[in-house]
Amino acid sequence: STAPDWWKSAVVYQVYPRSFQDSDGDGVGDLRGILQRLDHLERLGVDVVWLSPIYRSPHADNGYDISDYRDIDRVFGTLDDLDDLLAALHARGMKLVMDLVVNHTSDEHAWFLESRSSRENPKRDWYWWRPPREGTHGGEPGAEPTNWESFFSGSTWAWDEASGEYYLHLFDVKQPDLNWENPEVREAVYDMMRWWLDRGVDGFRMDVINLISKHPHLPDGPVRSGRRYGDGGAAYTSGPRLHEFLQEMHREVFDGRDGLITVGETPGVTLEEALRFTDPERREVDMVFQFEHVGLDHGATKFHPRPLAPGELAASLERWQEGLADRGWNSLYLENHDQPRSVSRFGDADEHWYSSATALATMLHLLRGTPYVYQGQELGMTNAPFSAIDEYRDVESLNAYADEVASGTAVADALYGLSLMSRDHARTPVQWDATPNAGFTEGLPWLAVNPNHDRINAAAQVGDPGSVFEYTRALIGLRHDRPVVAHGSFARVEAGHPAIFAYERELDGDRLLVTVNLASVEHDPVFADDVTERWREGMPLLTNTLPDAPAPFDAPLGPWEARVHANR
Ligand code: ISL
């Protein structure tokens, strides 16, 4: 479709290539593996495939540490494979979105190798180099230029003995931050982006794009009691030149090109900021991934989560629906490669696996915004049952665990945090079938396959009308078939019981009523008189209780029951 806002009726599917499908038996997924599984994506009905990074990388952070933006890592294949995948997706009417990771590079990128080679190197200023604090010696505790804590534990500064300065890394020590203040850096990034668009890709998902502008004075951040490092977020989240940079990128890269989709990943973004990013008149990005709903359960850290009260999730999503109702646009997601599995986190994977997976899907897909399905979510994949530290692979988990244990947390407690929140839960191989490696690889999978693939797998679900896959497919079909799903207004209509999320969508007289029980016990919806009046004649469109006959719109809802009614 060529409408400028075609992505409003599109559904995006995220592939994490490392865990999707291995074609050569090395235990790591690859591009030719993705090519083998296009029938699955086409059957599901998604419009766009977003690939997590497949560029050259030493894989300190599974490819989010890029050493060459213009080549494919050998573990994933070649540029020819990428071209083949792009052509095959286009032939099936799907688009391809690449991950754009330009807040930082790998420390093995040629730019950084030059930059670190000496203080006089012309690329020195392409990264954030700073001397030790006044009166200290580089490398000793407390000499770091700021007190900031890295997203992956420890200081954000690494001491470079050879050139006698520190470099900044908000993430891993092998992910030095690019200095966007330097116009040469920005031009090099834009040039690389144009190179990919010229190759035929259809857009970018922009990794931590709201962190690219740092406050040039690099002020210290507040230190919470008992912590060694401070929170530098205020100095680098939504920095002073962020929107200037994004508008420049738009002019330099996207102007005059049609049919693209851009989504900024923006941890910590506020509603007000999200409006600035996505107001079409500002010409920045089409939509952003906000983090409010996936931060609700975080405690002192994400690895000390708290249970959510019924209704907290719905209230947060409602707030964003209202906030971006008139201008801007929401992306809709419950999962990605950084988040636990949604059926384990927000649903009830033990007692009500099918109902809660489909209830959450109903809630998400029928909101106003562009839905993102993370690989395996369409199968109701769950968190992994890991119980020992050597089962985990993710740098964030391993560092957080080491940090906790070093500061006196009991091993069992540290492991408990990982068992709920590790990014590795999203990264176990896709469960294609019930064979020993789930059809993912002929070799040894790089991360263990979830043993529940004997029950939860694509072979068992595709074509089974009672499956999470086919239910998700029906939801995607509704978005394509009914303009009210993509373009209608949103209004929450039942706030009587917090566990019930009921909302109406409306477009030119077409109405939908979506009613979801987000709890493992029965609840009775209470609708206002005008709503009851409107829906008395409503027709059932979809429910996750089949083969039972669809219930009336106002009947009590069983655990995780979801129903959709239409007025015509
Ligand atoms: O999962 C997180 C840590 O709890 C998030 O803070 C995450 O680090 C943040 O959303 C940024 O994520 C993105 O950039 C990271 C990379 O590790 C993630 O995989 C990526 O999605 C650095 O490139």
Q: Output the 3-class SS for 314-375.
A: HHHHHHHHHHCCCCCCEEECCCCCCCCCHHHHCCCCCCCHHHHHHHHHHHHHCCCCEEEEEC
Ligand 1, atom nearest to 336 Cα? 21
C-alpha to C-alpha distance for 83 and 85, rounded to whole angstroms = 5
Average pLDDT of the residues in 498-513: 97
CB 63 within 8 A of CB 174: no
Peptide bond into 547 cis (omega under 30): yes
Predicted confidence (pLDDT) at residue 562 exceeds the cutoff of 60: yes
Cα Dmax for the chain: 77
Q: Decide: 297 in ligand 1 pocket, CB within 6 A.
A: no
Average pLDDT of the residues in 60-87: 98
**Domain 488-566 classification at class level:** mainly beta
Average pLDDT of the residues in 492-503: 90
Ligand 1, atom nearest to 267 Cα? 10
pLDDT tens-digit readout, 395-414:
999 999 999 999 999 999 99
For ligand 1, atom 5, the nearest C-alpha belongs to: 338
Residues in Cβ contact with 175 at an 8 Å cutoff, skipping those fewer than 6 apart? 60, 61, 64, 65, 104, 105, 106, 107, 169
Confidence (pTM) = 0.98
What 3-state class would DSSP assign to 537?
coil
Average pLDDT of the residues in 253-257: 97
pLDDT value for 496: 75
433 a catalytic residue: no
pLDDT value for 497: 85
Predicted confidence (pLDDT) at residue 1 exceeds the cutoff of 60: no
Please list the residues that pair with 157 across neighbouring strands. 168
pLDDT value for 149: 98
pLDDT value for 508: 97
Q: How confident is the model at residue 310 (pLDDT cuts 50, 70, 90)?
A: confident
Provide the CATH topology of domain 6-102+183-218+231-388+426-461: TIM Barrel (3.20.20)
> Chain-wide mean pLDDT for the chain?
97
265 a catalytic residue: yes
Rounded to the nearest angstrom, the distance between the alpha carbon of 338 and the centre of ligand 1 is 6
pLDDT value for 248: 98
CB 471 within 8 A of CB 361: yes
C-alpha to C-alpha distance for 172 and 358, rounded to whole angstroms = 36
Predicted confidence (pLDDT) at residue 326 exceeds the cutoff of 60: yes
pLDDT value for 131: 98
Average pLDDT of the residues in 171-194: 98
pLDDT tens-digit readout, 412-455:
999 999 999 999 999 999 999 999 999 999 999 999 999 999 99
Ligand 1, atom nearest to 171 Cα? 22
Please list the residues that pair with 100 across neighbouring strands. 206
Residue type, 128: W
Q: Decide: 289 in ligand 1 pocket, CB within 6 A.
A: no
CB 229 within 8 A of CB 194: no
Q: Decide: 151 in ligand 1 pocket, CB within 6 A.
A: yes
Average pLDDT of the residues in 459-465: 98
Q: How confident is the model at residue 226 (pLDDT cuts 50, 70, 90)?
A: confident
Dihedrals phi, psi of 554, to nearest 5 degrees: -110, 15
Q: Which of 114, 134, 110, 133 is nearest to 125 (CA)?
A: 114
Q: Decide: 154 in ligand 1 pocket, CB within 6 A.
A: no
Please state which CATH number belongs to domain 110-168: 3.90.400.10
CA-to-CA dists, residue 164 to 141, 167, 182, angstroms: 15, 10, 21
C-alpha to C-alpha distance for 235 and 222, rounded to whole angstroms = 11
Q: Decide: 505 in ligand 1 pocket, CB within 6 A.
A: no
Choose, from 99, 144, 265, 424, the residue flagged as catalytic. 265
Domain ranges of the chain: 6-102+183-218+231-388+426-461, 110-168, 389-421, 488-566
pLDDT tens-digit readout, 44-61:
999 999 999 999 999 999
Average pLDDT of the residues in 277-298: 98
